[in-house]
Structure 1
Amino acid sequence: MAFLELHNIHKSYFLGKEEFPVLKGIDLDFELGEFVSILGESGGGKSTLMNIIGGLDRNFDGAVNVDGQALDHKKEKQLDDYRRGTIGYIYQSYNLISHLNIVDNVLMSLNMTNLNSHDKKARAVELLQQVGLDDQLKKHPNQLSVGQKQRVAIARALASNPQVIIADEPTGALDSQNTAEVLEILANIAAEGKLVITVTHSQEVANYGTRIVRLADGKIEDDTRLKPAFKTTTAQPDIQPKVLSAGASYKNAFQHLSYNFWRNSLIMLGTAIGLFAVLLFSGIGNGVNAFIQDQINSMINPNSITVMNNPTGKKLSNTAFQQQLAQFSSDPTKLLIAEQQVNRLEKVKGVDQVEAGYQLNTYTLSYQNKNQNSTGLQSWTKAFASDTVKTGHAPKNNQIIIDKSQAVALTSAKTYKQLLGKKIHVSLPWIDTQNHPVQASADLTVVGFTNGGQAGAVAATNYSTMHSLLSAAKADTRANFISVNVKDSKDVKAVATRIRALKDDGKYKYGAITVGDILDTVNQYVSIASIVLAAIAGISLIVSALMIIVTMYMSVSERTKEIGILRALGERKKDIRRLFTAESVLIGLFSAALALVFAYAASLGLNHVLYGIVKFNMVQITPGNVIFTVIAALVISFIAALLPARKASRLNPIDALSAD
C-alpha cells in the first residue's frame, strides 16, 4: 500500500476572472524508501505540486491520502500537524534563519518534538556531524559556504524524524562535488526507509533516484522506475511531534532581540524614559505625602479630634464640613460653642479628655517697634504633639509660644533666642456678644519656640490667658473649638463618628476633624497633582508604544521569509503571533528594568540635594510603584505588538517563503 497518494489534483491561478490551470489532474502514489525525482521545466507545475504535497497549499481540487488517511486541506490545524510530524523541507535557497547559529537552526524543528532539552541539543549536534559540519557548530549561516548551508538545511529537515523529505532543487546552487555529496546524502535518507521527493529540472539529478516522474504542462508525462524502492529495517529514533511551547517562542524572540540589540536598544531607551518619568513623579508624590504627614504629626497629637459647632444641623461628610468652615469665617458667631456642648462630649465613649479652646484667624506680634502679622493663634491643648515646642516649654498663664520664623522677623536669625523670657505685645481682632468687632491685646512672656517650617507658623497661649485677654476687651468669651483627646489611637475614627452623630432637637450639632481627615484631604490633592504629572509623562509612553508598533511592523517585513520557514516546519498561526508579542514584551521588560535604574539613580540624587533643605527624602519609590511600572511596560508592549503579530500570523506561507 502506498504511503502517500495524490488523486485527481487540479490547481489553477486566477488573474481577475481569467483562469490559468497549473495542475490538470495529477494522480501519483509514493512508497516509503523511494527517492522520487519530479522532473520538468520551469512553469510546469513542479513547485505547486510540491507545496500541495507539503501541506502548504490549501486551495486546490482533489484528494491527498497519507498512510491510508485522507488529509483535509481545509483544516489548518490538521495541516500544521502534518507538516510538523510528517514533512521535512530542503530548499534550493536553504532558507536558514540568519540570526540563529546552525545548531539553533536545527533546533527550530526539534523544539516541536517530545525530546527534552539535552536530547534536542544532542540530536542537533549529531545530525550536523553526520552531514560533515562538526567543526562549524558555532557559526551563523552567513559564515558558511553554499554547500555547508545546504547541509544545515538537510540536517534541519531530518531533525524531527519526518517520514517524507521534500527537496526543492536541492543542488541548484551547488558545484559538482557538493551536488554529488548532497545526492548521496538524500539516497542514504531514502535507504533508511523515508520517502524522498526532489523537485528538479536536471536530468542528471533525476537519474540518481529510484524513480523519475516527468511533469509537463501540468500533467504527468511519464513515470519511470529506475530501481526498486529501498527496503530497510533501520531502527528509527522515537521522536514524536508536539506543538511549540511558549518557552521556545520566548527563547527565539530573545535570540532575535539580542541579534539586533543596538537597534532595539533605542526603542528600549525611549520607552524607559517614559516609564522613568511616570515612576519618578509617583515617587515624588509619595515623598510629598509622607513629608506632609510627618510635618502634621510632628505638630498634632494623632489621638486628638478637633470638634467644632455645626451650624447647618445637617449630617455632613468630613469633606463637606471642611468646605463649610470656609463659609463660616465671615460670620464667626456661628462657630461659637456653648459650655453645655463642651460638657456633653465628656460622656462620649472612648473620650479621655475634653478641652475648650480658641482659634483666631489673624493676630499681630510687636516687639521693639517691629510688627509681625500672622494667622492662626490658638489656645494650647493636648492636640499639640509633645515635641511641638522645640525650645522652651508649653505656655502657662500670661505666657506665649511663637514660631521661630516669627521670632526671627521680630529680631534676627542670630539673636531670636534672646526673646525667651521677654514680653511681646499681642493684639488680635475679635467680636463682642453683639457681633461687633473689638480689639483685644496684652503683653505676654515668650516661653518657647516652635518650628512649623513648611507647615506654617505655630503660636499658642493657654486657655486661661486667652479667656482673660478676650474678657478684658469685653469680647465674646465663648470657645470656638473643642479639643477631644481619645484614649486609644485605634478608636480615633470611631469616636469622631460618634461625635458627628450627636443630635439636639433633631439636628446634628458637631463637626469633627481628625489628623487622618486632614491627611486624607491633603494627600488627595497631592495625589491628583501626581496623577496629572504622571499622565503628562505618560504621553511619552504613547509615543513609545507607536515606536514599538513601527519596530514590530519592520520586523515582520524583515522576517517574512523566516515566518514562511517556521510555518513550513509546522508552527501554528498562534506560534507566529506569540513570537512577535514575545519580542515586544521582552522590549517592555528590559525598558522597565532600565527605567527602574534611572528612577533609583534620580531619586538618590534628588534626595541627596533636597535632604539638605528639608531634612526629608522627598522621592520615595514604593514596591507598588515598581510593580505598576513593570505591569504598565508589559501591557503597553503587548498591546503594541498585537496588530503586527496578527499580520505576521496571517501571511500565506508560500508567499512568505518566496519573499526576498
Structure 2
Amino acid sequence: MLQLKNIKKDYVVAGLPIPALSGITLEFQKNEFVSILGASGSGKTTLLNIIGGLDRYTSGDLLVEGKSTKEFSNNDWDAYRNATIGFVFQTYNLISHLSVLDNVEMALRLSGVSSKERKERATKVLVEVGLADHIHKKPNQLSGGQMQRVAIARALVNNPKILLADEPSGALDSKTSIQILKLIKDISKDRLVIMVTHNTELAQNFSDRIVQLVDGRVVEDSRPVHIKKENLNQSKLLNKKTSMSYMTALKTSFKNLLTKKGRTLITAVAGSIGIIGIALVLSISSGMTNYVDDMQSDTLAGFPLTISSVVSTDAFADPAQRMGDLTSIDGSFTDEPIIYSYDEENNTTLHTNIVTDDFLDYLNQMDSELYNSISYTRAISLNIVAETSAGGYTKVVSSQSNNPFTSAGTVLNEIPNSPEFIQSQYDILDGVYPTAYNELVLIVDSQNQIDVSVLESLGISIEEDYTFSDFIGKTFKVIPNDLYYTSSGSTYIPETNYDMLYNSTEAITISIVGILRVSEDASTELLSSGIGYTTFLTDYMIDINLTSDIVVAQEASKTLNVLTGQPFNTQLTYDIVMRTIGGDSAPTGVQIYPVSFDSKDLIKDYLDAYNVGLDEVDSIIYTDLAETISSTISTLISTITIILAAFAGISLVVSSIMIGIITYVSVIERTKEIGIMRSLGARKKDISRIFNAETVLIGFTSGVLGVLIAMVLNIPLNMIINGLIGVTGFSTLTLTSSLSLIVLSTILTLVAGLIPSGIAARKDPVVALRTE
C-alpha cells in the first residue's frame, strides 16, 4: 500500500541544512492501524506531513500503491491529498465561520462534486460519526470531542485510502480520547490509518503496530511488513485532479464575507465613493448632452443642408491648419518689416458643384417626408427701384448670398417655395402671405425690429417706430433687361435714371402684402429680416429676360463680357454672367430643410449615395452648418466629462488599492484556513480563486452601492437644477453607464486583489497550519 524508501528531510536554517528525518524506510499495508511514537522533535509530525503530501522529502522515495511520487507535480500532490489522504489534526483545524456540514463538504467542493451529492455524502458521514443533530451548528458550538468527530468526518468524506491522525486525542480528556480512538480503530478496518501520538498506553491499546522514532530514525517497529515486489508495479495510483469551480469559490467567499458583515459593508461603501463621483459626472454629462441635443433640435433642426455653386473644402479645416494661414510660409510668425502679396483663391481648395438635371431628378425622388422644403437658388440679379420718402428714387440691392444665416447687407431675399412650412414657423402679423409673383412680404425679428440699413436701402426715412400700414401696400418696380440695359456698341450699360425706370409702363410693379414674424415656438429663424419675394417672381423675370437683347447678345459672344467688353476670366465666366442677367435658369444652389435631426442624417446618406461611383469633379458636396456647431458642442461636453471623470476616478483607484490592502489583511487573518484547505487538496489556483472571488464580490457590491447612491443623490440634484434652469430630470444615469460602472468597479477591485491572492496561494501549507 505505502512504502517509504530511505526518506530524508533537511530544513535549511541560516543557510545550513538541519536533518529532521535521516533515512526512514517503512512499508505499510492496507487495513492496519499504525501508531508512530517518539519524543518531541523526533520527526513524527514531519514524517506524517511527508506521507500526507504537505511537505516534500529531500531525498529517497515515497511510493503509493507501487507508484513513485518523485515526479509528482504540484497538481498531482493536490489531487493526492484530496483523494488518497484524509487528515485528522490535534487542534481539529475546522474553519470557524462555516457550519459543521460546510466544513465536511469542503473536500468535496475541491473535488468538483455537485451540491446535491456533497450534501448527501457529508450528511451520511456525519451521521456515521454520531453528529446527526449538529450538522448546522458552528464549530464553536461543539465540545472538543464533537469537533474532533467533525474533523474525522471531513477526513473520511472523500473515502481516502489513508487516514493520517496527528495527536487526535492530544486536546481531549481521557474518556473522550478513548471514544475517538475506538472510532479511528473502526475506521482502520477498511483503510490504512497512521497516527502520531505521544500517548504510549493509547497506542498499545488500539494500534495494530507501533513504530518508534528517535532523532529522525526508526529504532523499533513492532510488526514490520514487506510488500512483495512482484505486486508493486501492478497497481497504479489514479487520483482525479481537484477542481474548484468559480461558482464554488464565489459561494465560499460569500459565506466568509457574511461572517464579517460590518467590515464588508464599510469596505464596500468606501469602495463606492469613486463610483459615486463618476456616476454623478456621467449623470450630469448625460443630462447636459440631452439638454443640448434638445436645444440643438429646437434651434438647429431648421438649418438647411446647403449645396452652393462653389464650396471651399478648407472651410472646416482644423484650427491648427487655419492658424497656419495666418503665419508665414514656414508656419511661424515673422518679425520682418515686410508685407507679402497673397492670393486667397490660389491658397483655397475650391469645389464647383454642378447641379445637373440628373441631380435635380435624383432630389425629386427623395422621400418627401424627410424634408419640409427644397429651395433652389438662381443667380439672376433683380433690378429693383424704390421711391424714397423724400420723393426721389433709389435702386434696391437684392441679396444673392447662398448662406441663409447671415443678414449683413441683405435687403431683398427669395423665400423658400414652401408656404406651409414657412407659415408653420412664422406668424402673419398683418396682411396675407404672398402667393403671386408681384407680392412681397416684410420680415421683422422677434421684437418687431428691422435694421435701419434695410430701411435706408428701401428709401424709407428713419423714424422711431412705424405702424403696419406704413409698409402694407408699399410698392417697388422691377426693371426688365430691355428697359434697364442700353446698348452702346458691343457693350450694354445699366440705366441710372431711376425716375424714368420707376415710372416706365414697362416696369413691373410689386408690393408688400403682409408682415411676418418668427413664431415663439419656431425651431429656428429661417428668413433674414427685410423684404422677401417668392420664387414666382424669379421665374417670371427669367421668362421675360431669356429673350432680352442683352441675353441674345451675350449668347452670340462666348468670349467677351457684354457688360464690360472685356474677355471672360476665371473669376467672371460666361456662365456667371448669363445667370446674372437671366439668360440661364439652371439653379446655382440648393437648400434642403430637414424635418428633424434624424431625417437630416437620412438626407445626407441619400446625397452621399448619389456620389458613389462619380469622379470628384462630378460629385456634389453639401454644407451642414448645424452638424459643425453640434459636433463642436458635443466635443466640448465630452472633454469636460472626461476631465471630471478622471478626477473622480482618482478616488476610485484609491478605493481599489484600499480594498487590495483589506484583502491582504484578510489573507493574514485566514492563513490557517489556507493551510486547512491545502491539506484537503486545494490547489494554489483554488486559494487564489477564493480570494479573487472575494474582491469580485466586494467590487460588485461597491459598484451597485455607488450606482444606487448616485441615483438617490440625483433626486435633490435635479430639484436644484430645475430651480435654476427650469429643466426637470436633468441629471440622469443611463442603464448602460450604470452597468459599465459596476463592471469597472468589479474589474478594478479584482486587479487590486491579485497581489494579495497570489500571496495567499504561495503560502506553505505546513507553515500555514501552524499559524494561530
* 1:223 aligns to 2:258 (yes or no): no
Q: 1:522 — aligned with what?
A: 633
Q: 1:112 — aligned with what?
A: 110
What secondary structure, in the 3-state scheme, does the structure 2 residue paired with 1:359 have? coil
- Equivalent residues of 1:297, 1:385 under 8 A apart: no
* 1:484 aligns to 2:592 (yes or no): yes
- Equivalent residues of 2:353, 2:619 under 8 A apart: no
- 1:574-616 Cα deviation digits (max 9, x unpaired): 1111111111011111112212212332334444554564445
Q: In 2, Cα distance between the equivalents of 1:142 and 1:378?
A: 93
| TM-score between both structures, scaled by the size of structure 1 | 0.78
Q: 1:564 — aligned with what?
A: 675
Q: 1:202 — aligned with what?
A: 199
Q: Which moved more, 1:255-264 or 1:47-56?
A: 255-264
Flag the 1:462–1:95 CA change in 2: closer, same or farther, 3 A.
farther
Q: Which moved more, 1:41-50 or 1:291-300?
A: 291-300
Q: 1:628 — aligned with what?
A: 740
Flag the 1:424–1:463 CA change in 2: closer, same or farther, 3 A.
closer
Q: 1:392 — aligned with what?
A: 427
Flag the 1:440–1:243 CA change in 2: closer, same or farther, 3 A.
farther
- 1:523-546 Cα deviation digits (max 9, x unpaired): 222112112111111111111111
Q: In 2, Cα distance between the equivalents of 1:292 and 1:323?
A: 28
Larger strand proportion of the pair: 1
Q: In 2, Cα distance between the equivalents of 1:535 and 1:497?
A: 41
- 1:398-447 Cα deviation digits (max 9, x unpaired): 544544xxx5xxxxxxxxxxxxxxx5453469999xxxxxx999969675
Q: In 1, Cα distance between the equivalents of 2:80 and 2:614?
A: 79
Flag the 1:145–1:387 CA change in 2: closer, same or farther, 3 A.
farther
Flag the 1:425–1:646 CA change in 2: closer, same or farther, 3 A.
same
Q: 1:13 Cα deviation (Å)?
A: 1.6
- Equivalent residues of 1:131, 1:155 under 8 A apart: yes
What secondary structure, in the 3-state scheme, does the structure 2 residue paired with 1:215 have? strand
1:17-36 aligned within 5 A: 17-36=15-34
- Equivalent residues of 1:36, 1:212 under 8 A apart: yes
What secondary structure, in the 3-state scheme, does the structure 2 residue paired with 1:512 have? coil
Q: Which moved more, 1:602-611 or 1:13-22?
A: 602-611
Q: In 1, Cα distance between the equivalents of 2:418 and 2:276?
A: 41
- 1:480-532 Cα deviation digits (max 9, x unpaired): 9973346974232453797999999x899976115444333322221121121
Q: Please, which runs of 5 or more residues in structure 1 have no aligned partner? A: 230-238, 335-339, 364-376, 408-422, 433-438, 468-477
Flag the 1:283–1:361 CA change in 2: closer, same or farther, 3 A.
farther
Q: 1:450 Cα deviation (Å)?
A: 4.6
| TM-score between both structures, scaled by the size of structure 2 | 0.67
Q: In 2, Cα distance between the equivalents of 1:558 and 1:241?
A: 28
Q: 1:619 — aligned with what?
A: 731
Q: In 2, Cα distance between the equivalents of 1:94 and 1:635?
A: 37
Q: 1:651 — aligned with what?
A: 763
Q: In 1, Cα distance between the equivalents of 2:69 and 2:715?
A: 65
Q: 1:292 Cα deviation (Å)?
A: 1.6
Q: In 2, Cα distance between the equivalents of 1:324 and 1:501?
A: 31
Q: 1:595 — aligned with what?
A: 706
Flag the 1:9–1:321 CA change in 2: closer, same or farther, 3 A.
closer
1:286-325 aligned within 5 A: 286-301=286-301, 304-306=304-306, 313=312, 315-316=313-314, 318=316, 320=318
Q: 1:388 Cα deviation (Å)?
A: 10
* 1:584 aligns to 2:695 (yes or no): yes
1:138-537 aligned within 5 A: 138-191=136-189, 193-207=190-204, 208-225=206-223, 242-301=242-301, 304-306=304-306, 313=312, 315-316=313-314, 318=316, 320=318, 344=355, 348=359, 350-351=362-363, 352-355=374-377, 356=402, 358-360=404-406, 392-393=427-428, 397=440, 399-400=442-443, 402-403=445-446, 407=447, 424-427=449-452, 447-448=516-517, 450-451=519-520, 460-461=528-529, 464=532, 483-485=591-593, 489=600, 490-495=602-607, 512-513=623-624, 515-537=626-648
Q: 1:281 Cα deviation (Å)?
A: 1.7
Q: 1:319 Cα deviation (Å)?
A: 5.7
Q: Percent identity?
A: 32
Instruction: Name the aligned partner's letter for residue 530 of structure 1.
Output: T
Q: Please, which runs of 5 or more residues in structure 2 have no aligned partner? A: 228-238, 327-343, 346-350, 364-373, 378-401, 435-439, 469-514, 536-579, 581-587
Q: 1:11 Cα deviation (Å)?
A: 1.1
What secondary structure, in the 3-state scheme, does the structure 2 residue paired with 1:111 have? helix
| Aligned Cα root-mean-square deviation (Å) | 4.5
Q: 1:411 — aligned with what?
A: none
Greater C-alpha Rg: 2
Q: In 2, Cα distance between the equivalents of 1:557 and 1:652?
A: 13
Q: In 1, Cα distance between the equivalents of 2:767 and 2:425?
A: 81
* 1:96 aligns to 2:94 (yes or no): yes
- Equivalent residues of 1:451, 1:457 under 8 A apart: no
Q: In 2, Cα distance between the equivalents of 1:570 and 1:53?
A: 14
Q: In 1, Cα distance between the equivalents of 2:463 and 2:418?
A: 25
Flag the 1:564–1:603 CA change in 2: closer, same or farther, 3 A.
same
Flag the 1:343–1:5 CA change in 2: closer, same or farther, 3 A.
closer
What secondary structure, in the 3-state scheme, does the structure 2 residue paired with 1:354 have? strand
Q: 1:87 Cα deviation (Å)?
A: 0.4
Q: In 2, Cα distance between the equivalents of 1:48 and 1:388?
A: 98
What secondary structure, in the 3-state scheme, does the structure 1 residue paired with 2:624 have? strand
